[in-house]
Amino acid sequence: MYLDHAATTPIRPEALAAMQEGFKIWANPSSPHAEGRKAKQALENARERIKKALGWDGEVIFTSGASEAARLAFDNANVMHEAVSTAEHDALHHFVTDRGAQEIRFDQDGLINHESLKKACEPSMAAGNVPENRSLVAVQLVNSETGTRQDIDTVAAIIGEYSGILIADCAQSAGKLALPTTAGMVIVSAHKFGGPIGVGALLVKDFAMLKPAGGHERGYRRGTENLPDILGMAAAIETCDWHTTADQREAFIARLSRDRLTIGQQVDYIVPLVHPKMSAQALLIRLDSMGFAVSAGSACSSGTLKKSRVLDAFGVDDETASRTIRVSLGWNTTPEELERFADAWVKLT
C-alpha cells in the first residue's frame, strides 16, 4: 500500500492518455511549418487549461519540475536581495543559502516569525522606491515533511510592505488547495498531483519580475518544451480529485492523533507520526515488510540517521525527530488502505 504521495504520486490515467496522444504531436513548437504550428497550438492550449484549472491569471513558464522553476526564478528575478524560510525543500534551500540568502525562522506555532521576515525584507527599499532593490522571498504554502500550512496571505502582505516579491512553493498543495493569489511567483510540480515526473512550471504574475534568459517559453527558459508531459500535466490538474472524503481523512488522523507530530495548522494529507520507542529507520523496515510504503521524517545518510533539517527548523527535539515518519495520502488512496494502515500502526505502538 503506497502511502508516500508527498514524494510522488501515481500518474492519473487521464494524464497517461494525454501523454500518449502528445507523442503523436512530435514537432518542435517553435518551428514555423505546419507541424510546428500544430505543436505550438497544443502547447498554448495546455498552458491556458492549466491556468484555468489553477485559477492563475498571470503567466506560465514550463520547466522540467519544481527544482528548475526555483532556480529559474532566483537566477532571473529583477531583485537585489534573497531570503528563504529555514524549512524549505532542500532543492530550493541549499541553492539559495549557498548564494548568501538570508534565512527566516518560525514561531513555536509553526508559522513564519513576522519579525524575522521583516528583517529579511529590510534591505529592500520602502514601497514606492527603486523596485530593483527589492527582495525575493521563498516560503512553502504546505511543508512536505510536516504538512504545516502557512498563513501565506499575511506573509505576502508583510513582504509587500517592503516592495518585495513572494515566491510560494506550492508543490505540495497545487491541485489540493487554492493557489495563493497574493504571491508574485508560484512553483508547481506535475508529479505531485498525478502528472508525469519531469515537468512543472513557474507561475509569474508579470514577466517584468524576470530578466529574459533567451530560448523558448517567450524567451524565459532555454530548452525545447516537453509537449507530451505538458499535456499530461494539463490533464492531471483538470482531474484532481480524491478517492477518500475529507471526513474519512479526518477520521484517520483522529485515530492516530496520540502519535501525530502536531506543528501548527496542518493539512489532512501529510501526517507525521512519532513512535513511542522505535527509530524511524526501524519503522520503515517493519512497515515495508508489512506491505506499507512510507518515508522517514529524518533523512538517512551513509547509514547514519541524521536529524531532519526541516524538523529542526520547527523546533522538534532530536529524540522525537529520530522516531518520526511521514505518511502521505494521494488521489488514489482508499478508505480501506487508511483503515489497514491505522490497524498496523496500532499494533506497532
Question: Can you give the pLDDT at residue 203?
Answer: 98
Which DSSP letter does residue 215 get?
S
Which DSSP letter does residue 95 get?
H
Grid cell, residue 84, equals: 528563504
Query: Nearest to residue 167, comparing CAs of 159, 10, 175?
Result: 159
Q: Which helix (H) or strand (E) holds 50?
A: helix 34-54
Question: Can you give the pLDDT at residue 129?
Answer: 54
How crowded is residue 126: how many other Cβ atoms within 10 Å of its Cβ? Answer: 11
Question: Can you give the pLDDT at residue 43?
Answer: 97
How confident is the model over 249-257, as a mean pLDDT?
97
What phi and psi values does residue 204 have, to the nearest 5 degrees?
-130, 130
Question: pLDDT by residue (tens digit) across 72-124?
Answer: 999 999 998 999 999 999 989 998 999 999 999 999 999 999 999 999 988 76
How confident is the model over 149-164, as a mean pLDDT?
95
Question: Can you give the pLDDT at residue 13?
Answer: 98
b/e burial code for range 19-47 (CB count within 10 A of at least 16 → b): beebeebebebeeeeeeeeebbebbeebb
Question: Can you give the pLDDT at residue 297?
Answer: 56
b/e burial code for range 54-86 (CB count within 10 A of at least 16 → b): bebebbbbbbbbbbbbbbbbbebbebebbbbbb
Residue pair 269/86 in contact (Cβ under 8 Å)? The answer is no
Residue pair 338/248 in contact (Cβ under 8 Å)? The answer is yes
Q: Give Cα separations from 173 to 83, 222, 261 (angstroms).
A: 21, 27, 19
Can you name the residues that pair with 221 across neighbouring β-strands? 216
